[in-house]
Every structure is written in structure tokens, then in C-alpha cells.
Chain A
């Protein structure tokens, strides 16, 4: 599996992960803004709630697909235990936070899809779930891509 990931990324696994995760983070921020419009919390003259909701779903599908690919790269190349072990010393805390927030993000994505598709009676929790997803992904990004870009 590591050879496959190396081949797909041309040996630049961390760099590709950083770019893709940053794209997902930027889209996630856009998603929050779109839902603020959809729920009427933010009123703009050029976008109505119905269009904002449609775009939120379309962009969300694409962002989740990219996010799942990033998770696949991360898990197949670094693993969970190996990732933390690899980042020994001062980096252990950061790696642990990354693994925990990333795993919880995947759980939150699954929960949101279940609520949207099958468990609509819990629809009132969707804003909280969405903000939880955004927060968890932000933490996962800060402790990996953000650290790679600014932490050295």
C-alpha cells in the first residue's frame, strides 16, 4: 500500500496531503458560510437560501470525497500507532491530537450523512454536527498541514 501511495503522490506524500487538506479546509469554511445563508443567519442580496443549500450539498460531496482520500493517504502511509510512534518526543502530543481529531471527524461525517439521508428526525442537530465537523477538521489540519507549512 505504501508503494501505491508513493506512486500516486510521486514520493511527495506530505506535500500532496497538505495541499488537499488545505483545499478541504477552505471548502469547509465556504460550507459554513453557505449554511449561514441557508439558515438566514447571513443575508446577502446575490444568494438565496435555496441556492445556498444546493451548493452546500454539491460542494460538500466533493469535499468529503477529497477528505476521504486524504484520510486514506494518511492511514495507509503513516497508520495510527506508527504515525504517533514516528513523531516521537515533542511531536507525540501533536500527532496524538491529529489522530484523535481526524478519527472523530470521520465519525462526525458518517453521523451527518446518516442524519441527512435516513434519520431526519434528528435534523435539528445538523448545524451543531456541521460546526463540529468544521472544528474537528480545523484541529486535524492545524496539527498536520498547518504544522508542516508554518511549524517547519
Chain B
């Protein structure tokens, strides 16, 4: 009596879990790849410091202009 080997697909549950895990992996890979491509961003402190510096420079420019005009 020979046994016939038939290639069977995974169970429905296994297919669902596998395809959903694949989606999670795709998300992880996309986030990692794009984040690496972008590089480090600014944190809130850096942004505030940059904004303060710009405002300070703007004030200095205006003061100098007023002095020249006055």
C-alpha cells in the first residue's frame, strides 16, 4: 500500500495569522527604512531654541535699522 503525498496549504487560521504577520513586518520595515533615510529629527527643546534665536536675530536687525534711520 503506497502512500500518496499531497502538498497541502496551511490551515485557514495559519494563513490568516501568516498574512497579518506579513503586514506587521511590512510596516516595521517601512518605518525603519524611512526613519533611517530621514535621520534624527528635532526635539521640542531644539525647536524652541532655534525659534528664540531667530526672534533674537530679528529684534537685533530691527534695532540696527532703527538706529541707522534715527
Query: Hey, which bits of chain A sit against chain B, CB under 8 A?
Result: 10-12, 15, 18-19, 22-23, 25-27, 30, 34, 45-48, 50-52, 54-55, 58-59, 62, 145, 149
Please pick, from B9, B29, B34, B47, the residue contacting A48 in the complex, using a CB distance under 8 A.
Answer: B9
Q: How many A-B residue pairs have CB under 8 A?
A: 74
Q: Which residue of A lies closest to B47 (CB)?
A: A11
B15 contacts A46, C-beta separation under 8 Å: yes
Contacts of B15-35 to chain A: CB distance below 8 A: 15-16, 18-20, 22-23, 26-27, 29-31, 33-35
Query: Hey, which bits of chain B sit against chain A, CB under 8 A?
Result: 7, 9-10, 12, 15-16, 18-20, 22-23, 26-27, 29-31, 33-35, 37-38, 41-44, 47
Q: Which residue of B lies closest to A50 (CB)?
A: B12
23 contacts between A and B (CB under 8 A): A10-B42, A11-B42, A11-B44, A11-B47, A15-B41, A19-B30, A19-B31, A19-B34, A23-B27, A23-B30, A45-B7, A46-B15, A47-B9, A47-B18, A48-B9, A48-B12, A48-B15, A50-B12, A51-B15, A55-B19, A55-B23, A59-B20, A149-B37
B34 contacts A30, C-beta separation under 8 Å: no
Residues of B with C-beta under 8 A to A22: 30-31, 33-34
Please pick, from A11, A18, A23, A51, the residue contacting B19 in the complex, using a CB distance under 8 A.
Answer: A51
B20 contacts A55, C-beta separation under 8 Å: yes
A27 contacts B26, C-beta separation under 8 Å: yes
Q: How far is the CA of A145 from the CA of B38 in the complex (A)?
A: 10
A51 contacts B16, C-beta separation under 8 Å: yes
B9 contacts A45, C-beta separation under 8 Å: yes
